């Protein structure tokens, strides 16, 4: 182990390999990653950023209900999601994990379908263990601990990853989950993507802790702080943490130090509350710029390849959204069918009333059911 137990959150020690220009500044860290994996990771990061930009446009046109952008957080999200073993490991995400969903194998059209309001967009294809986006802050930590308990109880090999933001770390459920996982020695990686803003509440007003990672120490869970905009550091750390969990050592906590470059949601205007100079400074640490510079310096990326990728991904996003728009409708009974195994009387009555009120919606389906 070169990270767990070596980097001390109580000393605010942060793991970093690349500086914000994409230069390697820490030659003491060993990491093993192929050029093919690096390029694949960068393409997913770029796609997620382009998807955010595209969805902002169509949302303003009234063609998308809402969405929450991952811009600025692509490096850590792609690193941990790419590292999961498909069909074995699990991801219990929050609502701001677009890049992680893509890297996990969730189709773009499913994600778009979800943001049009069709819940089948949140359903993972066969073989991809990703739970639907969790809107309630911090509750995905409990679900992750429960999943990990099931994996251990059934003698399976899966590790469960879950993530919340800095605001979520103030929820009691988060500590309860870590305490439960530590007590039962469960294979779960608790992640905080500390993007410095909980809607309009700055990090400085949400906690007086030295950092987020120290909050795990009270439950006995080993924790690390990582530069969340540095793909190489994120990837190296997550590899070690997965190995740590698979070997039966219990849970681990990672704080990815990052920044939310976009708005909280497509209904939000961060210019109202976020200092302009802070935002301009954060842009200098953009994970895409850092990664691209590293790949160019390594001789495996170029301006010509970037232009071709941007054009290809823009056309791809247009095609996927056209499909999502055509398939966004769903039967009104879907709103009532997935809450209880057997619908109680009051829901039966409400469903009958809804069918009368929306008679044209009962036979419409969208998504890959």
Active-site position among 49, 96, 109, 260 = 260
The answer to whether 259 is a known catalytic residue is no
Question: In the chain, how long is the greatest CA-to-CA distance?
Answer: 68
Q: Where are the alpha helices (DSSP H) in 129-230?
A: 139-153, 172-183, 214-217
**Which residues, in sequence order, are bridge partners of residue 18?**
24
- DSSP codes of every residue in 92-152: E--S--HHHHHHHT--HHHHHHHHTT-GGGGSPPTT--BPPPP-STTHHHHHHHHHHHHHH
Contact 75, 283 (CB under 8 A): no
- Beta-carbon contacts of residue 47 (< 8 Å; ≥ 6 apart): 102, 108, 313, 316, 317
Residue in this structure with the two tokens 């800095």, named with its chain if needed: 166
**Which residues, in sequence order, are bridge partners of residue 315?**
none
Contact 89, 301 (CB under 8 A): no
The answer to whether 184 is a known catalytic residue is no
Nearest Cα to Cα of residue 199 among 262, 139, 255, 258:
262
Active-site position among 49, 109, 264, 290 = 264
Calculate the CA dihedral of residues 140, 142, 143, 146 and round it to 10 degrees. 160
Residue in this structure with the two tokens 């906690």, named with its chain if needed: 207
What CA–CA distance (Å, rounded) separates 295 from 290? Answer: 9
Q: How many CB atoms lie within 10 A of CB 151?
A: 21
Active site residue ranges: 260, 264, 273
């Amino acid at each position: 182990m070169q990270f767990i137990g070596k980097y001390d959150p109580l000393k605010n020690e942060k793991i970093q390999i690349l500086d914000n220009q994409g230069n390697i500044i820490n030659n003491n860290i060993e990491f093993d990653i192929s050029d093919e994996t690096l390029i694949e990771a960068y393409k997913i990061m770029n796609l997620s950023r382009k998807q955010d930009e595209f969805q902002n446009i169509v949302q303003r046109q009234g063609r998308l209900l809402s969405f929450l952008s991952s811009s600025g957080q692509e490096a850590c999200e792609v690193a941990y999601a790419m590292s999961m073993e498909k069909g074995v490991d699990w991801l219990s995400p929050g609502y701001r994990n677009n890049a992680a969903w893509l890297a996990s194998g969730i189709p773009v059209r499913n994600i778009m379908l979800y943001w049009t309001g069709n819940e089948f967009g949140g359903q993972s294809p066969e073989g991809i263990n990703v739970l639907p986006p969790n809107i309630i802050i911090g509750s995905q930590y409990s679900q992750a601990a429960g999943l990990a308990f099931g994996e251990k109880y059934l003698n399976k090999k899966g590790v469960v990853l879950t993530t919340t933001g800095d605001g979520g770390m103030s929820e009691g459920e988060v500590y309860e989950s870590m305490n439960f996982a530590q007590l039962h020695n469960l294979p779960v990686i608790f992640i905080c993507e500390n993007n410095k803003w909980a809607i309009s509440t700055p990090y400085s007003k949400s906690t007086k802790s030295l950092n987020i990672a120290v909050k795990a120490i009270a439950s006995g869970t080993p924790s690390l702080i990582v530069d969340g905009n540095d793909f190489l550091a994120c990837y190296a750390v997550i590899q070690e943490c997965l190995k740590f969990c698979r070997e039966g050592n219990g849970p681990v906590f990672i704080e990815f130090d990052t920044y939310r470059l976009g708005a909280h949601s497509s209904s939000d205007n961060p210019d109202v509350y976020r200092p302009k100079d802070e935002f301009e400074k954060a842009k200098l640490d953009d994970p895409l710029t850092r990664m691209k510079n590293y790949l160019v310096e390594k001789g495996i990326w170029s301006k010509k390849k970037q232009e071709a990728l941007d054009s290809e991904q823009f056309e791809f996003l247009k095609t996927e959204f056209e499909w999502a728009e055509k398939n966004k409708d769903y039967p009104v009974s879907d709103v009532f069918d997935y809450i209880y195994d057997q619908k109680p009387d009051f829901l039966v009555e409400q469903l009958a009333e809804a069918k009368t009120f929306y008679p044209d919606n009962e036979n419409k389906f969208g998504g890959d059911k």
